[in-house]
Amino acid sequence: MTLNKETKPIVNQWLIKETPLDLIKTPNRIRQSADINLINDLAKSIHQSGLLNPIIITEDFQLMSGERRFTAYKLLNEKYPGEYECIPCRIVNDNQQSNYIPIIENIQRESLTILEECYSLYTLIQSLKITSAELGIFIGKSEVYIENRLRYLKILDGIKKRFKQFRLTPEQVLVLESLSVSKILLLRPLTSHWSDKESYDLLVQILEEDLSVRKIRELLTTHNEKNIQRRLNQESSENELTEKDSEEDETNLPQLKEVEKSFSQSSKKSIVPIKISETTMYEIVDLLKDKLNIQIKNEKTFRNNLIKLLSNHAIYLTR
């Protein structure tokens, strides 16, 4: 279905007919457990102020939306015979699309939870195959309103999947699902940033302390800044160590050349490969330090360079 401003709506907003109650067919799904007190209150309101919102029926008089209003009207008809024999109805144009009328009406109810509303919007987009902008025109909401609620579902699902291993308690899940759209949208970094444990601890703090939107933003921003600073410090330390190793390599270069010269002088044309253990390598390093009186600032760097040198003379380190 393609919907734009010129598209014919599912319900003709202006076509309202007074329809006899006995012609209207109630579906099997009609509420059987409706609170009689609520129905009585609704009947009194209709009697005093009239029916402000007509019920919705198909062209063959099948009730699609407005079950409690229809029940209240029948109650009034029994109490005031002749006055409430007909009820104002809006007529559905397309029987195939009429299945989505109850969903649309549910979206417009104030009692709907944010999670229920978001799922309803997603269901409509998938079922009617329309865009967020088209659905917004259809139900009287902005495109941003629709997009944010679709984003809400994606982020909420991402959070649940990432922290499945931590097994959120039922209470925590309940609090999570009751968070406002604006709060959930701020939690997007928790689906991918930082480690699982870091993100989980942040989520628990947000849920348990019932933080405001501003506090959540400050918490995540502060945590992100600390992580960036930690990475910068780590990279700086690694760079300093690399530079230091490079300097020490140059410092030990003459000594390494002297060692290599000694090996070259004693080398023969036919060389038999020799394998030595890491312990032996430490002993060789100690021996060379004593023998050649070498001052080594970084023994690890010197040892690695020595291994390369020895390998040229068929002496290999085993690990």
Query: In terms of residues, how long is the chain?
Result: 319
Question: For the chain, which residues score pLDDT lower than 50?
Answer: 1-14, 29-33, 96, 267-272, 314, 316-317, 319
Euclidean distance between CA atoms 48 and 50, whole angstroms: 6
Please name which of 317, 285, 278, 319 lies closest in space to residue 301, comparing C-alpha atoms. Answer: 285
Please name which of 228, 313, 226, 216 lies closest in space to residue 274, comparing C-alpha atoms. Answer: 313
**Segment holding 318, helix H or strand E:** strand 315-318
Taken in order 123, 128, 132, 133, is the CA torsion positive or negative?
Answer: negative
Euclidean distance between CA atoms 12 and 90, whole angstroms: 7
Report field, pTM of the whole predicted structure over 0.85: no
Phi and psi dihedrals of 131, rounded to 5?
Answer: -85, 170
Euclidean distance between CA atoms 180 and 152, whole angstroms: 9
Euclidean distance between CA atoms 205 and 197, whole angstroms: 12
What are the pLDDT digits (tens) for 171-217?
999 999 999 999 999 999 999 888 889 999 999 999 999 899 999 99
What are the pLDDT digits (tens) for 135-146?
887 677 889 999
- Sequence-ordered list of residues with C-beta below 8 angstroms from that of 302, at least 6 positions apart, any chain: 248, 252, 256, 285, 294, 296
Residue 232: alpha-carbon gap to chain centroid = 28
Q: What are the beta bridge partners of residue 316?
A: 275
At position 250, the amino acid (one-letter code) is: E
